[in-house]
Amino acid sequence: MRFLVVGGGAREHAIGVALVRANAEVVVASANTNPGLEAIASASLRTDPTDAPRVVEFARALRVDAAVIGPETPLAAGVADALRAAEVPTVGPSKDAARIESSKVFCRELLARHQILASPRVLAPSSVDEVDRAVAEIGSPFVVKPDGLTAGKGVWVQGADFSEAKEGATYAKSLLLQGGRVLLEEKLEGEEFSQMAFVTDDGVYPMPAVQDFKRALEGNRGGNTGGMGSYSQRDHLLPFLSATDRDAAIEVVRRTVDALREDGMRYRGVLYGGFMLTARGPVLVEFNARFGDPEGINALTLYEDGDFAALLLGVATGHVDPNLVRFRLRSTVVKYLVPPGYGDRPKPGGLLEIDAPAIEAEGVHVLFGSVEAAGPGTVRLGNSRGVALVGEASAIHEAGSRVEAALAHVRGDYYVRHDIGTKEDLARRVEHLRQLRAPGAKPSPLPLSVAPPAAPPSSAGTPEQLIG
């Protein structure tokens, strides 16, 4: 079987590796030349991955059996629709359904319309004049979100990205003035986790829960990034996440797939719910229409040595054998090596000497992202997340220690978060939730269900839309 992988990051490298392990042939369409994918692909095309006609032409010329789309931008650009129109079964939703990620307003409206009570309180001011009132109504702390795709970097959280409410209001106004839509959300307090699932015409097949580290710097400081690393736990839960809470999140994913279907959108691909586990249970922060990066790497590492090619082909054609969806009972830790300054002002161009065979010999996997080959055992860092190291073990902290030990085989100027997957960090997160859930803890000042109806409009002006 021949698969087209669209995208050239470490997530796509992991997808390629899993396919090759299943004896499939891989061809790649990506903007960058990923040394890891180059090593395993039988053909590759350098293209903007959102260029649907070029991607389709390549898929047809190579007579691929199926395609899998890694990043969100081709999905939002309708590349899955174009591939399907050319009769290439594709893992990835249509442009319409991918709005679940590419439009945060669409996502919140869908949930509200279908009474999926998983959103924080949220307002969508439709003009600059409405912002101050919306800010007052949501109350502090709050979060400002541009409607569209921002690679995890456009969201401003009070207390982290701005301190005074008026700074957040100014940011929201600037987004509206640039012509975009904007959401103001209650800031949720808790621990984030990612719950991905394969979605077919007749089923939702959950993957292990994962926790991503979004902030650039240790101690969760610095700017929001696409994710600096992630971990998953042996039992597919997380140290702070019970089976009941995970099931509640999976139920939100299932109901959202039903809602899309009821609204006429078929979904074949991966749906990823980003949740905040709060004192009141999991609340949806966002949906993504694809494997997380890095979270997809955790899940793919755990994929039982079954037939990943058959699984992906099944997702692409709308039906999978449930026996193909099996994940090993091991803990995993992924850490990204990034250029210094990543998350703010990355300094690209640095060389990394990586003794990949020595790392692999210690049971740690090396996946390449935004790097280019620069000689034997050497890569040059680009602007984004460069190399992912993946460790696995029985316990999370052991998997983390394996990755740390593997760093002895890497030389060069890079940044990595050493605090991902340490015992101390895990204990802090468990304690954080214990405190939030302790009897007598101050409850969130705002209800977490669908917000009450908007106050009746005052005599002048239209009230902002209140969308649950």
Q: Does 143 bind ligand AMP (CB under 6 A)?
A: yes
Scanning the structure block, which residue is given the tokens 């969806």? 325
Torsion angle defined by CA atoms of residues 132, 137, 140 and 141, in that order, rounded to the nearest 10 degrees: -100
Q: Does 224 bind ligand AMP (CB under 6 A)?
A: yes
Side-chain half-sphere CA neighbours of 426 within 13 A:
20
Strands 410-412 and 351-354: antiparallel
Tell me the per-residue interface mask from 271 to 300 with ligand GLY, x by CB under 6 A, - otherwise. -----------------x---xx-x-----
| Percentages of the chain per state (helix, strand, coil), in multiples of 5 | 35, 25, 40
With beta carbons less than 8 A apart as the criterion, state whether 241 and 210 touch.
Answer: no
User: What sign does the dihedral 6-12-13-15 (CA atoms) show?
Assistant: negative
Strands 211-212 and 191-199: unpaired
7: its two tokens: 């995208």
Helix or strand or coil: residue 83? helix
- The CB-of-296 to ligand GLY minimum distance in angstroms stands at 7
Q: Does 155 bind ligand AMP (CB under 6 A)?
A: yes
Residues 423-452 that bind ligand AMP (CB under 6 A): none
Alpha helices in 214-355 (DSSP H): 243-262, 295-302, 308-317
Q: Does 185 bind ligand AMP (CB under 6 A)?
A: yes
User: By rule CB under 6 A, what count of residues binds ligand GLY?
Assistant: 8
Q: Does 192 bind ligand GLY (CB under 6 A)?
A: no
Q: Quick one: 295 or 425, whose CB is closer to ligand GLY?
A: 295
Tell me the per-residue interface mask from 142 to 181 with ligand GLY, x by CB under 6 A, - otherwise. ----------x-----------------------------
- The CB-of-104 to ligand AMP minimum distance in angstroms stands at 6
* Partner interacting with residue 298 (select from ligand GLY, ligand AMP, none; CB below 5-8 Å by kind): none
Q: Does 74 bind ligand GLY (CB under 6 A)?
A: no
Scanning the structure block, which residue is given the tokens 């269900």? 449
Q: Does 12 bind ligand GLY (CB under 6 A)?
A: no
User: By rule CB under 6 A, what count of residues binds ligand AMP?
Assistant: 16
Q: Does 226 bind ligand GLY (CB under 6 A)?
A: yes
Phi, psi of 398 (to 5 degrees): -70, -40
Binding site for ligand GLY (CB under 6 A): 152, 212, 226-227, 288, 292-293, 295
Binding site for ligand AMP (CB under 6 A): 120, 143, 145, 152, 155, 157, 185-188, 192, 214, 224, 274, 285-286
